[in-house]
Structure 1
Amino acid sequence: MGVNENVLKPLDRLASELSAEMEAVNALIRARMSSRHAPRIPEVTAHLIEAGGKRLRPMLTLAAAKLLDYPGAYHIHLAATVEFIHTATLLHDDVVDESRQRRGRPTANLLWDNKSSVLVGDYLFARSFQLMVEPGNLRTLEILANASATIAEGEVLQLTAAQDLKTDESIYLQVIRGKTAALFSAATKVGGVIANAPEQQVEALFDYGDALGIAFQIVDDLLDYGGATETIGKNIGDDFRERKLTLPVIKAVAQADNEERAFWSRCIEKGDQHEGDLEHALTLLSRHGAMDAARADALAWAERAKSALAALPGHPIREMLSDLADFVVSRVA
């Protein structure tokens, strides 16, 4: 399934509205990812940061600050911080998952090595903490520091939960709230905090980011079993091969008979995968309506994200954020 021009419009509109701010963020990122002593750091970082990602997370910080008429410049630092945290986690994820492709290009660990990816990821985490201190706002520092810990915790939880058939939807939600939604909600919340917004608006921004991040991850998990490689930037079935128990599989396992459960146990828990297993997994997902059920969940979370915006002032950016929630789920709607 390709992404048509109409689907891209909400994200393009937001990017256009924030183009001047994003230029400043990109300039700050380029300046801070340099290293006088270790040239491999900018090499590895540039490979990922310049790979054409949408910069969705830093855009959320900029959007929240602009929506609330923040007059200062520190939202640029916070947005760059968010992107550095995100990039660091991608470098680490690709090593953990032994991934070979990211955003349609070879991963850094494939082009260089695992050691370089891990250590450069560490460097970017350190850089992010330098950046988040500069606004001198203790609360934004607390939010981003907590999000960094939550992301790491979510990744560790996934190590065990993702290959255990006892993992249910509540644990799955805990995992994706950690590894994905935590940075979305931190990105939106710090934009409100730096703008000195009323607490109700700050919490609304958090709720929007949280629900948007959950919808985003469910869609990503769905596309792994049914998206075009050029659309998702990775290979179809990567989650299956990496033995990740994502939402569609959790829903299928919950309805599995003994024979089907034995199949999932062999492929996911034991990692004993044979030719044709992915196709059989797709058959089981279809048989139990697991893809449709997961799709309905993603759409429901997108609606929750849109509802949270009601507490925010009327502003063109508020409408763009609402459209963005629709965009996130449009690939599977």
Structure 2
Amino acid sequence: MGLDEVSQKPHERLAAWLAEDMAAVNGLIRERMASKHAPRIPEVTAHLVEAGGKRLRPLLTLAAARLCGYEGPYHIHLAATVEFIHTATLLHDDVVDESHRRRGKPTANLLWDNKSSVLVGDYLFARSFQLMVETGSLRVMDILANASATISEGEVLQLTAAQDLRTTEDIYLQVVRGKTAALFAAATEVGGVVAGVPEAQVEALHAYGDALGIAFQIVDDLLDYGGVDAQIGKNTGDDFRERKLTLPVIKAVAQADAEERAFWQRVIEKGDQREGDLEQAHAIMSRHGAMEAARQDALRWVTVAREALGQLPEHPLREMLHDLADFVVERIA
């Protein structure tokens, strides 16, 4: 391993190892997001697809398939499918959340309109199912169709749970398994299925993706409050302003005294937020150790992900997936 490889982040090493496959995925994405009759479809899709991002989910599919020794063509279709599903959910999420920025750029719903974002998202879902069908595998279609349904279910559950102080950690986990972990798990699982590996290895790939996705979301929740030890800055606090009950808040609410609970009711349930409230929320969470407790939960899920990899063949890609799990929580170390 050269010095450049050592200095690269795990997802960058994955991308470099799988560069040829990823180029084929990108070509297929560009081909399938075309539309002869509705030019707005490729315009809106290209805005989001070409906006950057790690392309982590399709990389997971490619890595799982190659790790399992797959030499056929359909891991490319599956990786593109996963990216289309992910992109569709982002288009819909930005409408639901009334977001104006994503990856540093204006959102599609801001540049065009909500109708375009919703309808193009629907188009990408349809395209994703066309790609699944081309693999000829009912098992693959079952996994990805279930993941799509679970994602939608998780988003709807979040609508009802996000601003309800009765939301428990179990409900939070159900939301996270829906909105984030379901696609991670499906992305890795279908790589093993298309490769035809034994069921134990398919289950291990699912377990890895599930645990990685949960840890990934918990870390995102923590970073939105500046991380465990960080100070509140101008780019933090979106979840707070959107009144979302994420894991550190749920943990703090569970330990709140009467005064603190009244604060959470005002800022989360009633939406009456004032200057200095974000800093007070951060102080309350720190006082109860909620941020560190959430970090420990993320570390436990990373351990689950790493242990699942032990069922898989020795391979440089397995080590990269191991390092990727570590990297997820290194962001909040």
TM range (shorter): over 0.9
- Name the counterpart of 2:113: 113
- The residue number in structure 2 matching 1:179 is 179
What per-residue deviation string (whole Å, max 9, x for no partner) do you get for residues 277-322 of structure 1?
A: 1111111111111111111111111111001000001111000000
Q: Distance in 2 between matches of 1:223 and 1:317?
A: 28
CA separation of 1:8 and 1:175: change in aligned 2, threshold 3 A: farther
Q: How big is the shift at 1:17? A: 0.6
Contact 1:8 1:327 in 2 (8 A): no
Matched residues in 2 for 1:103 and 1:268: separation? 26
Worse-matched range after superposition: 181-190 or 271-280? 271-280
Deviation, structure 1 residue 8: 4.8
Q: Larger deviation: 105-114 or 158-167?
A: 105-114
1:27 maps to what in 2? Answer: 27
Whether contact under 8 Å (1:150, 1:182) holds in the other structure is yes
Shift of 1:255: 0.6
Matched, 1:131 2:131: yes
Amino acid at match of 2:193: V
Provide Cα deviations, 1:205-252, integer angstroms capped at 9, x if missing partner: 00000000000000111111006xxxxxx9411111111100010011
Pairing 1:1-333 to 2, within 5 Å after superposition = 8-226=8-226, 235-333=235-333
Which of 295-304 and 145-154 deviates more?
A: 295-304
Please name the residue that 2:230 is paired with. none
**Cα separation, partners in 2 of 1:252 and 1:61, compared to 1, 3 Å:** same
Moved more, 193-202 or 299-308: 299-308
Q: Helix, strand or coil for the counterpart of 2:51?
A: coil
Q: Partner letter of residue 74 of structure 1? A: Y
2:71 counterpart SS class: coil
The letter for the 2-side match of 1:146 is: N
Q: Distance in 2 between matches of 1:288 and 1:201?
A: 40
Q: Residues of 2 paired with 1:307 and 1:108: CA distance?
A: 39
How does the TM-score come out when normalised to structure 2? 0.95
Which residue identity lines up with residue 253 of structure 1 in the other structure? V
The answer to whether the Cα contact below 8 Å between 1:68 and 1:313 also exists between their aligned partners in 2 is yes
* Alpha-carbon distance between aligned partners in 2 of 1:156 and 1:329, rounded to the nearest angstrom: 27
CA separation in 2, counterparts of 1:236 and 1:39? 36
Matches of 1:137 and 1:293, distance apart in 2: 42
How big is the shift at 1:7? 7.6
Moved more, 311-320 or 235-244: 235-244
- Residues of 2 paired with 1:275 and 1:68: CA distance? 53
Q: Quick one: structure 1 residues 69 and 209, their matched pair in 2 at CA, closer, same or farther if it must change by over 3 Å?
A: same
Gaps of 5+ in 2: 228-233
Aligned to 1:136, what secondary structure does the other structure show? coil
Greater Cα offset, 267-276 or 140-149 = 267-276
Provide the rounded CA distance (Å) in 2 between the counterparts of 1:158 and 1:147.
Answer: 16
Aligned equivalents of 2:222, 2:200: Cα separation in 1: 33
TM-score of the superposition, structure 1-length normalised?
0.95
Query: For the structure 1 residues 58 and 303, does the alpha-carbon distance in structure 2 shift closer, same or farther, using more than 3 Å as the test?
Result: same
Q: 2:101, 2:7 → 1: CA distance?
A: 24
Aligned length: 323
Identify unmatched segments of 5+ residues in structure 1.
228-233
Q: Which residue of 2 aligns with 1:230?
A: none
For residues 252 and 15 of structure 1, the distance between their equivalents in structure 2, rounded to whole angstroms, comes to 38
Amino acid at match of 1:16: A
Q: Residue 177 and residue 8 in structure 1: after superposition, are their counterparts in 2 closer, same or farther (change >3 A)?
A: farther
2-structure distance, mates of 1:283, 1:100: 28
Q: Distance between the aligned counterparts of 2:309 and 2:217, measured in 1?
A: 20
Distance 1:36 1:6 in 2: 45
Whether the aligned pair in 2 keeps the contact of 1:7 and 1:330 (CA below 8 Å) is no
Deviations 1:81-134 (A, max 9, x none): 000000000000111111111111111111111111111111111111111110
**SS of residue in 1 equivalent to 2:9:** helix
Q: Kindly report structure 1 stretches of 4+ aligned residues shifted beyond 6 Å.
A: none
Give the Cα–Cα distance (whole angstroms) in 2 for the partners of residues 281 and 6 of structure 1.
Answer: 39
1:36 deviates by 1.0
